[in-house]
Chain A
Amino acid sequence: MNNTDLNNIINRVYSLPTELAPFREMLLANAVMISEIPAPTFMEQKRISFLGQRFNECGLTNCCTDEVGNALAFLPGKNNHQTILLTAHADTPFGAGQDHSCTVDGGTIHGPGVADNSLGLAVLATLPTLLDRLDIRFQSKLLFLSSIRSLNQGDQCGIRFFLANSREPVKAAIAIEGIPLGRLHYRSMASLGGMISCHIDRKVNHRSAIEILNRIINQLDKISLPAESHTDLILGTITGGASYKIPARQAQLQFQLRSDDDRVVKDVTARINSMLEKIGRELGVSAQLKDLAHTRSGGLRSSHPFVIQTRRIMTALGIQPQKSIYSPIITGYVEQGIPAVGLGLTYGDNIHYPDEYIEIEPILIGVAQLIGTLMALDGGLCDQH
C-alpha cells in the first residue's frame, strides 16, 4: 500500500465537491427524469432505454443491452489494463400506474424511487460527463452497467446474469445506491426471501386464512435464532382476504430470513417447512413456502485494502461509514469472486414509500467519494497482495 499515492488522491478529492458544483443541475435533472420513468421490477425497459441514450450521448463506447436487458457501455481508459465495473439497479417497487412525479424544493427531491435508485442511476448516467469536464482520466477501462430485476422477486437476476455470463474480466466493482451516504457494504449475508401462502378450502373448513397465518407468525416468533451468526427474521408484508365481512380464503406473508452463516439459513428454512407441513395436515388448510429470493454469505474482509482505502476516502470527506457491512447487492459479486463495495450518495428517507426523498446538498460529496474510490482502484491501491 502506498500512502503517498492515497494522500495525493485524498488531496484531489477534497476539492472535488467544489469542482463538481457547476454540473450539479445536470445530475439532478437526470435523477428527476429517471425517477419519472416508471420501472417496476420486470418492466424496466423504458428506463433502460433512457439510460442507453444517455450513455450514447456522453460518448461511451459499445453501448448496448445484454440478453436479459441490462444497459451497458464502456469508458475506455488510457491503457485498459483492467476493467472496473460501476453498477446501479434500475428497478423500483412502484407500479407503472402510480404517479411518479418528483418535486424539487430548495434542499430535497421527493418522488417514488428517487433514493432507490434514481439517484444512483443518475450518477451512472452523468459520471462520464463529469469526469470529462473535470479532466479526470483513468488507466483502467470503466464499465457502466444499469441492471434490471434487482429488487424482491427480481432476486438480483440482472446483475447475476451479467456477472455469470460476461467475458469481460472485472477487476473490482462498485454498486451505487442513492442513500444513505456512509453506506459501505462489502459483505453479503446468506438470506432467503420467502412468501408463505395459506389457503382455506371453504367446502370443508370455514375458518379464516388470516387466523392460520396468525398462528404461523406466532410459531415463527418462537423459532430460536442463533445470535452469534447475526440471524434475523424480518416480517415484511402481509396481505389477505377480500372483504372485512367474509373469512379470508387466502393470506400471504412475505419475509426475509438472513444470517452471516449459510447453514443457519438452511436449517431455519427446513424448520419453517416442517412447521408448514404440520399445519397443512389440518382439514382444508394448505400452507406453503415459496422461495422469492436468496443470497449467499461472503464478501471482503474489513482488512481488505479495497475496504480500507474506501473508508479512508470517506473519512477524509467527512463521511461517517456506517456500521452495517451487509447488503444483498453484494451477493452477485460474492458468487463470482469479484471484490465489490456498495456506496451511497446522499441522505434521504421513506424508501419504497411514495414520499421517498433525497437531500440535494450532500450529493456532490457522495460523488466525490465515488470518484476517489475509483482513483484508488485505478491506481492499484485496493489490490490485495
Chain B
Amino acid sequence: MTNIDGWLQSNTFHHEQFKDLRHMIKEKEKQNLTISLCIPTLNEEKTIGKEVILFKSELQDRHPLLDEIAVIDSGSTDRTLEIAASFGADVYRSAHILPELGTKRGKGENLWKAIFQLRGDIIVYVDADIKNIHPRFVYGIVAPLIYQPKIKYVKAFYDRPMALSGKIRPSGGGRVTEILVRPLLSLFFPELAAIIQPLSGEYAVRREVLERIPFPIGYGVETSHLIDVYYEYGMEAFAQTDLDKRIHRHQETRDLGKMAFSILRTFFKRLKDKEIVADLPELTANLRQFQAQEDRYEQIIHEIYEEERPPMLKIDAYRKKLNLPT
C-alpha cells in the first residue's frame, strides 16, 4: 500500500503552482500533446456562455493550451447549444455520436462518447454548472499531466464555501462524499480515500486510460473510474489539484439519495467483479423514497439502472477510426 501521507504531499497540487501558462504550453508543444475540453450539458443555458467565452479566450486565443472545446449534450431543450456555438465551441448531440450503439441518458454517456468524438491525447472534463468558472478549472488539472508523465488521472478539489471558518481548512467533499463514498473507500480501497473530492466533475485524463475503462452512464461514473484506474495503474497514476472555491447548484437531499443509490450499485458491482465480496444477491434497481401526504405516508419508487458502456477500445468504430485491428 502506498504511503498516503507521502502521496498527498507529492501528488496534491494547488492551481497557483501552474500560473505560468507560457511555460506549460512550451512543455505541451515539446511533447506534441493535444488537449480536448469536453463540457457535458443538459439545459445549461445560464452558465454555458461564460464557460465557453473564458476557456476560448484564455486557453485557446491567448494561450493555445486547448486544441478543441466541445460541448456534448444529452438533449437540451433550452438554448445551451445555440449559445455555446455562438461563442465558438464545437457542439454535438450525444445521440449523433456512434448512433448505431443507441442513446442512453446520463452524463456518463456524454463523457464516454467524447472519447470517440474528440481528438485530444488528454481529455479534460468540466461540468457546465459552475457559477464562478475560471481558466484555472482547466489548466489546474491539465498541468500535472503535462509536467509528470507518470500521472494519468487528475481530479479537482475545492474549498466548500459554506465551511470556511477557523485555521484548518476542512478540504472535504460534499454530503454524498462524506457520508457514503469516503466511508466505502476507507473500507475497501483505503488509499483512494485520499482523493479529497472523489465525485468532483472536473478531471483530466490521458486517452490511453479513458479508452480502457468502462463508463457507467449515470452518477456512478466518477466512483467507477477511481476504482478501475486504481486497479489498473495504482495510486501513483492519480493526482489532485486544489482549485479554490467552486460555486455550483445546491441539490436537494432527495436527489442526493438517487445519486447515492447509483453510486452504491456501481460500487457493489465493482466489489463483485473484482471478487472482493463474494455471493452478493442480485441488486434491485428500485430506490424507495417516502413522502407524507396529509395524514398518510406513501412510497415512491424510482427505477435507477446504472448501465455501463464498455471500454471504448472494444468498440469497432473506434478501433477503425484509430486504425487499430478490429
- Bound Cα distance from A105 to B82, whole angstroms: 10
- Bound Cα distance from A103 to B83, whole angstroms: 12
Q: Is residue B288 within 8 Å, beta carbon to beta carbon, of the partner chain?
A: no
Q: Is residue B302 within 8 Å, beta carbon to beta carbon, of the partner chain?
A: no
Q: Is residue A157 within 8 Å, beta carbon to beta carbon, of the partner chain?
A: no
- Interface segment among A28-36, A177-185, A277-285: the answer is A28-36
- Chain A residues within an 8 Å CB radius of B86: 106
Given contacts A32-B54, A102-B50, A105-B46, 14 further A-B contacts (CB under 8 A): A25-B52, A25-B53, A25-B56, A25-B57, A26-B57, A29-B56, A29-B58, A30-B57, A103-B47, A103-B50, A104-B53, A104-B83, A106-B79, A106-B83
The answer to whether A101 touches B61 (Cβ under 8 A) is no
Pairs of residues from A and B, 3 with the lowest C-beta to C-beta distance, nearest first: A29-B57, A104-B49, A104-B50
Q: Is residue A353 within 8 Å, beta carbon to beta carbon, of the partner chain?
A: no
Q: Is residue B134 within 8 Å, beta carbon to beta carbon, of the partner chain?
A: yes
Q: Is residue B103 within 8 Å, beta carbon to beta carbon, of the partner chain?
A: no
Q: Is residue B75 within 8 Å, beta carbon to beta carbon, of the partner chain?
A: no
Nearest residue, chain A, Cβ from B82: A106
Nearest residue, chain B, Cβ from A102: B50
Q: Which one of B53, B56, B57 has the highest number of Cβ atoms from chain A below 10 Å of its Cβ?
A: B53
- Bound Cα distance from A156 to B52, whole angstroms: 36
* Selected contact of A33 from candidates B131, B134, B247, CB within 8 Å: B134
- Chain B residues within an 8 Å CB radius of A26: 57, 61-62
Nearest residue, chain B, Cβ from A101: B131
B 252-270 contacts with A by CB, 8 A: none
29 A-B pairs within 8 Å (CB atoms) are namely A25-B53, A25-B88, A26-B57, A28-B53, A28-B87, A29-B54, A29-B56, A29-B58, A32-B50, A32-B53, A32-B54, A33-B54, A33-B134, A57-B62, A101-B131, A101-B132, A101-B247, A102-B50, A103-B46, A103-B49, A103-B50, A104-B49, A104-B50, A104-B53, A104-B83, A105-B45, A105-B46, A105-B79, A106-B86
Nearest residue, chain A, Cβ from B132: A101
Query: DSSP majority for the A interface?
Result: helix
B 52-74 contacts with A by CB, 8 A: 52-54, 56-58, 61-62
- Chain B residues within an 8 Å CB radius of A30: 57
A 74-128 contacts with B by CB, 8 A: 101-106
- Bound Cα distance from A104 to B61, whole angstroms: 19
- Bound Cα distance from A30 to B53, whole angstroms: 9
- Bound Cα distance from A30 to B62, whole angstroms: 11
A 1-40 contacts with B by CB, 8 A: 23, 25-26, 28-30, 32-33, 36
- Chain B residues within an 8 Å CB radius of A57: 62
- Chain B residues within an 8 Å CB radius of A106: 49, 79, 82-83, 86
**Binary per-residue interface labels of chain B (35-56) against chain A in the complex, 1 for a CB within 8 Å, 0 otherwise:** 0000000000111011011101
| Cβ of B77 to closest chain A Cβ, rounded Å | 15
| Cβ of A359 to closest chain B Cβ, rounded Å | 13
* Selected contact of B61 from candidates A23, A33, A103, CB within 8 Å: A23
